[in-house]
Amino acid sequence: MRITAGNMHFRELNEQIRACPDAEIEIDGCLGQRYIGSGLADKTLLVGGIPGNALGAYLDGGTIVTEGNAQDAAGDTMNDGAIIIHGSCGDGAGYAMRGGKIYIHGDVGYRAGIHMKAYRGKLPVLVVGGTAGSFLGEYQAGGVIVVLGLRRPAGTPLTGYFCGTGMHGGKMFLRCPERPEGLPERIRAAEASAADLTEIGGDLDEFCAAFGEDRRELLAERFWVLTPDGENLYRRLYTSV
């Protein structure tokens, strides 16, 4: 089924999506409508145009693919499924996500992956092809964040300020030649081993398949793995069961 969004109110658009019996829906001419695919569990959405805030919020098993950019809070509190963004994404991508995968070909704004957590055996994954803004992985409690820095101009930082502040679980993989600077005191940063890279190998394969990238090129540069130390005071405030 094909739906032309145009000036349609976001409520009407989402009602049409929920009512559609088809497993795959194409949305043309999206003009910032919010909450597209919210709570989706069993459909694939192909979004043309620019979706608004909270794309795929509470996603629970569906797949959402955008042809270009997405705005803030994509994948907010998502539980399962996949969001594939062929452009860049605004702030708060993957906020509190506890399962599923978000692949972003371009850059991402501030506070991507904050409060991300592993939950009941689920392992959320956020892969950013470009660069990330400040507060990446703030209070991360679980899951995996990967920032690749593809084609970033010389002198452009891979991440903004306060990367990993309050991080107390999960892992962050940063692809850059030198050890990242300005990390919080309670974060360990080590060059990724072959075993570390094996952990994200499947996600790199899926990222490359989605966006036409070359896995060998990705692995030709160093990765650094960020993990919290054992004394982080926030750990007991979150559950991973």
Query: Which DSSP symbol is given to 47?
Result: E
Q: What is the pLDDT of residues 129-143, one digit of tens each?
A: 999 999 999 999 999
Q: What is the pLDDT of residues 144-171, one digit of tens each?
A: 999 999 999 988 999 999 999 999 999 9
Q: What is the pLDDT of residues 33-65, one digit of tens each?
A: 999 999 999 899 999 999 999 999 999 999 999
pLDDT at residue 241, rounded to an integer: 43
Question: How many CA atoms lie less than 13 Å away from 105 in the CB half-sphere?
Answer: 17
Q: What is the pLDDT of residues 178-215, one digit of tens each?
A: 999 889 888 999 999 999 999 999 999 999 999 999 99
Q: Is the pLDDT of residue 14 over 60?
A: yes
Please provide the average confidence, as pLDDT, over all residues in the chain: 94
Q: Is the pLDDT of residue 124 over 60?
A: yes
Q: Is the pLDDT of residue 237 over 90?
A: no
H or E, element range at 142: strand 141-147
pLDDT at residue 234, rounded to an integer: 56
Q: What is the pLDDT of residues 73-117, one digit of tens each?
A: 999 999 999 999 999 999 999 999 999 999 999 999 999 999 999
Q: What is the Cα–Cα distance from 73 to 83, expressed in whole angstroms?
A: 12
pLDDT at residue 209, rounded to an integer: 98
Question: How many CA atoms lie less than 13 Å away from 190 in the CB half-sphere?
Answer: 11
Residue with tokens 């959402």: 64
CA dihedral 221, 201, 238, 107 (to 10 degrees): 50
Q: What is the Cα–Cα distance from 27 to 47, expressed in whole angstroms?
A: 5
Q: What is the Cα–Cα distance from 146 to 128, expressed in whole angstroms?
A: 6
